[in-house]
């Protein structure tokens, strides 16, 4: 049986997808340098290789030795403020490293590729552009978003030049954890709201800060489209299956199509945890759009995707359960 190479498979989303692949009976090879990933979060059935995705010689060897038929690429850095402070790190680890990975794929004839992209490629869409479609202009406002968009451009160009097809998935706000408790959000210094709320409810943080309370939204705080990580992992399996059927390359938004404010998320965490933790108001952070909601019509129509975990309390409950066991 041919294998699927999962880069960054020890990370948050990559480990969830690796478990989904194993559950589906796939042979999985994980490449991760463990700079932020956690080895224990990977499925035991997967073959693990410690290394960098930008190591061309290593990747070429892996693709050949394990008869890899497709690559699912999650490896990279994802912290927006850090990308502003250290942009070259992001262009090296997200863009330049992916260039080496793509070169290895072309050299070995691996022509199916699923890419972990982001809604950050859209930057700060106007209210008139919401919900965001795949045709909304891309205008990233930080190096993280730019590094991901540059990779999308490389994928497009490699598709045109070689026997190569891809699906780029633009994530909105991913949250929650595996309902079976096998993996979850373990990224050090993670800034995800639901994770931070959960840690505050469990006493791991003293208080929670709301950054900006004067936005033109229903309660003055930012609105985001939260998608449960298990629903997102299933999208990756559907993307892989589409490529295996010989379908064309595409870019798809991954979200539920509706959002919650920061205050609504806080209320949900307090409700589910039954803890009334401290919340303080802080100034806006630069670059935070007031609202970011996905139009996922294409995803639903093209893949027949139906989310199974579209419930804020369920997302929060799985996040809390993961924090409690780690």
Average pLDDT over residues 39-51: 98
The residue annotated as part of the active site, out of 12, 90, 122, 144, is: 144
pLDDT number for residue 191: 82
For the domain spanning 3-175+226-254, the CATH number is 3.40.50.720
pLDDT number for residue 188: 67
pLDDT at 5 over 70: yes
pLDDT number for residue 189: 72
pLDDT number for residue 239: 98
256 has catalytic annotation: no
pLDDT number for residue 23: 97
The bridge status of strand 223-224 relative to strand 260-261 is: antiparallel
- All structural domains of the chain with their residue ranges: 3-175+226-254, 193-224+257-325
Domain 193-224+257-325 has CATH 3.40.630.150: no
Average pLDDT, the chain: 96
Contact 249, 161 (CB under 8 A): no
Here the tokens at position 296 are: 């996922």
Contact 178, 17 (CB under 8 A): no
Please, how many CA atoms are within 13 Å of residue 183, restricted to the half-sphere of its CB? 24
Here the tokens at position 162 are: 């070689």
Reported confidence tier of residue 260, pLDDT bands at 50, 70, 90: very high
Percent above pLDDT 90 for the chain: 94
- Its pTM stands at 0.96
Q: For 187-200, how does the pLDDT look when each residue is reduced to its tens digit (9 = 90+)?
A: 767 789 999 999 99
């Amino acid at each position: 049986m041919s294998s699927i190479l999962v880069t960054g498979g020890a990370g948050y989303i990559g480990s969830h997808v690796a478990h989904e692949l194993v559950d589906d009976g796939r042979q999985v090879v994980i490449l991760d340098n463990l700079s932020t990933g956690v080895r224990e979060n990977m499925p035991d059935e997967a073959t693990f290789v410690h290394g960098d995705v930008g190591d061309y010689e290593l990747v070429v060897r892996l693709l050949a030795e394990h008869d890899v038929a497709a690559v699912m690429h999650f490896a990279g850095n994802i912290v927006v403020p850090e990308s502003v402070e250290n942009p070259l790190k992001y262009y090296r680890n997200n863009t330049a490293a992916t260039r080496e990975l793509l070169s290895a794929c072309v050299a070995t004839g691996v022509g199916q590729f699923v890419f972990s992209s982001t809604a950050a490629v859209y930057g700060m869409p106007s209210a008139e552009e919401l919900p965001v479609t795949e045709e909304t202009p891309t205008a990233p406002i930080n190096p993280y978003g730019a590094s991901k968009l540059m990779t999308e451009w490389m994928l497009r160009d490699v598709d045109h030049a070689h026997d190569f097809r891809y699906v780029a998935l633009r994530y909105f706000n991913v949250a929650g954890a595996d309902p079976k408790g096998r993996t979850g959000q373990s990224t050090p210094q993670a800034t995800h709201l639901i994770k931070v709320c959960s840690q505050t409810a469990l006493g791991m943080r003293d208080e929670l800060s709301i950054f900006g309370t004067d936005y033109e939204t229903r309660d003055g705080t930012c609105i985001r489209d939260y998608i449960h990580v298990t629903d997102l992992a299933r999208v990756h399996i559907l993307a892989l299956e589409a490529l295996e059927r010989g379908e064309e390359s595409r870019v798809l938004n991954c979200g539920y199509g509706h959002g919650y404010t920061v205050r609504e998320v806080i209320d949900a965490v307090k409700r589910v945890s039954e803890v009334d933790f401290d919340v303080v108001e802080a100034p806006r952070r630069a670059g935070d759009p007031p609202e970011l909601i996905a139009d996922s019509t294409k995803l639903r129509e093209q893949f027949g995707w139906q989310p199974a975990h579209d419930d804020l309390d369920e997302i929060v409950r799985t996040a809390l359960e993961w924090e409690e066991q780690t």
